[in-house]
Chain A
Amino acid sequence: GEDVEQSLFLSVREGDSSVINCTYTDSSSTYLYWYKQEPGAGLQLLTYIFSNMDMKQDQRLTVLLNKKDKHLSLRIADTQTGDSAIYFCAEGFSGGYNKLIFGAGTRLAVHP
Chain B
Amino acid sequence: GENVEQHPSTLSVQEGDSAVIKCTYSDSASNYFPWYKQELGKGPQLIIDIRSNVGEKKDQRIAVTLNKTAKHFSLHITETQPEDSAVYFCAASIEAGTALIFGKGTTLSVSS
Q: Do A and B bind each other?
A: no
Interface residues of B (CB under 8 A from A): none
A positions within 8 Å CB-CB of B: none
